[in-house]
Structure 1
Amino acid sequence: MSTLLYDHPGPRARIRNRILSVVFGIGLAAVLWWVYAKFDQANQWEGWLWKPFTEAATWTQFILPGLRATLWAAAVAMVLSLAFGIIFAVGRLSDHWWISIPAGAVVEFFRAVPLLLMIFFIFYGVPFLIQGPVSAFWAVVVGLTLYNGSVLAEAFRAGIRSVPTGQSEAAYAVGMRKSQVMQLILVPQAARAMLPVIVSQLVVLLKDTALGYIVAFPELLQRGVNDLSANRGNVVAAAMVVAVIYIVLNSLLTSLAGWLDRRSSRRAFRISKQTPKPGPGGTATAGNVTGVTEPQG
């Protein structure tokens, strides 16, 4: 039985994969050509529709201010969501029912409420409770934090439960308290294990800033599509340009996460190499240094 996780394809499998790749490539090219032809029939490739994007005023008045608002709201919501997720994940794992049950109720409630409805309620409903207005920025940030933080709480909880129980038992055996075990042992390993899920949810958070249009938050979609097309009449062209910007932003976020994952893996590998290991005769070795015991008299 093979001990590999992946068996290299044989000659017939390689031929089949090449044929499927060619068929898929032709199908994708046909779909792209069909989209291009349909837009061409609707005169969406006319030069005057795309000319505004060659002008500096378009970027300085519409796109860059919207991009700046999107990045700022997303950055604040990301930090708050990660903190919310860690706190409520630990709360759900508490041994005290008066902590775990309310924490679970909060997480399940905010996961169930649609984000658009949450932003709408925070902006229009909360002012009746606090007797004061709520800015569009904080309505978007708080809504993103509550929803994405609840999803991240479940991700962190799953990651913490996936850490082998022997590690926490060993930490308790040396006298560590549960808070220390969570902070020093379980949460760091859970964060590394769940990094793909965390990054995926942060990408969703970045895209969901576009829902701020419901409260007229001047983010990228509002400024780059709605406001720009209202002045220039090029809604499809503006939507395409904004979509490309979102794709670039999400790709950069994914690349950053990959870099952090590789860096943490290299650091863990260096630490494991530097950990002293029993050498011949029972003495400790570190790296490529081998300890030798003195002969017994």
Structure 2
Amino acid sequence: MSTQNALFDAQGPRAKRLTRVFNIIGALVIAGIILLVLVRLERQDQLTWDRWAFLFTGDAWAHLFLPGLWGTLKAAFLAVVTSVVFGLVFGMGRLSPIGPIRWVCTVVVEFLRAVPVLIMMIFFWLWLGHTSLINPNHLPFFAVVLGLTLYNGSVIAELVRSGVHQLPKGQSEAGLSLGLSSGQVLRMIQLPQALVAMMPALLSQFVVILKDTALGYIITYGELLDAAKRLGAAHSMLQALIVAAMLFIVINALLTTLAQWLSRYLSHRVGVRAKV
């Protein structure tokens, strides 16, 4: 029996007909909304070539879109890596049998989850500026990465904790019966399976990191949204923002594809180990 059949009853002929009808109605409603938007844009001369021509110039991409895209990808990639490391360390800390370690990690994670990421960015931007430890030109980048790391790392730590707790207790008991320590059971048995189980949630958090880099423009970080707004201010804002949105959609689609491949790969590796 497939997982879908186990969770949901198979649709009968009447249910299938109703599903097709609702799908058609939904598609017509969406098509109508798109048509209405296009008509409104046409009436406001937003669809004329003059409004879009600036997007196909070399200057727009060489000096704004591509540098902005690089700024977004650079901050997002580093924040993803550091967030995962932070989340694994503090997530495992919250699962530690040692009371003080577990309490400290819990306080840190709960505190960072409660603070808005924008406040963290502004705090690090101002604080690092007063310390003179970093080149002023690099302050916005480090502030964005630190803010994203601490906030999203704390969320990933909670995902790790909840993912491990959702595993069957028999697995940890089997590991302990083989002579493994609790730490070895966590690292070798529970954590690999928890990572596979929480992959969809991890993907969602990576998308959040990517989109939250756009908050960096508030502290003068040059990323994709900031580049689109500067280009739009000189030409046409709507068209520039549409291009930025399309770039974000493409990046998120690629990230989704990568995460799906990684999930299948990890599932295969965990399955092989379980069989062995």
TM-score (norm 2): 0.92
Residue 111 (structure 2) aligns with: 109
Match of 2:261 among 259, 262, 277: 259
Residue 209 (structure 1) aligns with: 213
Residue type matched to 1:80 in 2? T
CA contact (8 A) 2:196 2:267 kept: no
C-alpha deviation, 1:270, in angstroms: 5.2
Equivalent pairs counted in the alignment come to 270
Residue 141 (structure 1) aligns with: 145
Match of 1:14 among 16, 35, 44: 16
C-alpha deviation, 1:52, in angstroms: 1.4
C-alpha deviation, 1:6, in angstroms: 3.2
1:1-297 equivalent positions in 2, closer than 5 A: 4-128=6-130, 130-133=131-134, 135-223=139-227, 225-231=228-234, 233-269=235-271, 275=276
C-alpha deviation, 1:127, in angstroms: 3.4
Residue type matched to 1:66 in 2? G
CA distance in 2, matches of 1:205, 1:58: 25
Matched residues, percent identical? Answer: 41
Residue type matched to 2:257 in 1? S
Greater RCO (CA < 8 Å, at least 6 residues apart): 2
Residue type matched to 2:196 in 1? R
TM-score (norm 1): 0.86
CA contact (8 A) 2:193 2:270 kept: no
CA distance in 2, matches of 1:268, 1:132: 44
C-alpha deviation, 1:268, in angstroms: 4.4
C-alpha deviation, 1:66, in angstroms: 0.7
C-alpha deviation, 1:121, in angstroms: 1.0
CA distance in 2, matches of 1:13, 1:127: 62
The structure with more radius of gyration: 1
Residue by residue over 1:173-193, the C-alpha shift from the partner in whole angstroms, topping out at 9 and shown as x without a partner, is 222222222211111111011
Residue type matched to 1:137 in 2? F
* Higher helix fraction (1 or 2): 2
Residue by residue over 1:60-90, the C-alpha shift from the partner in whole angstroms, topping out at 9 and shown as x without a partner, is 1111111111111111000000011111111
RMSD over aligned Cα atoms: 1.9
Residue type matched to 1:235 in 2? M
CA distance in 1, matches of 2:143, 2:109: 19
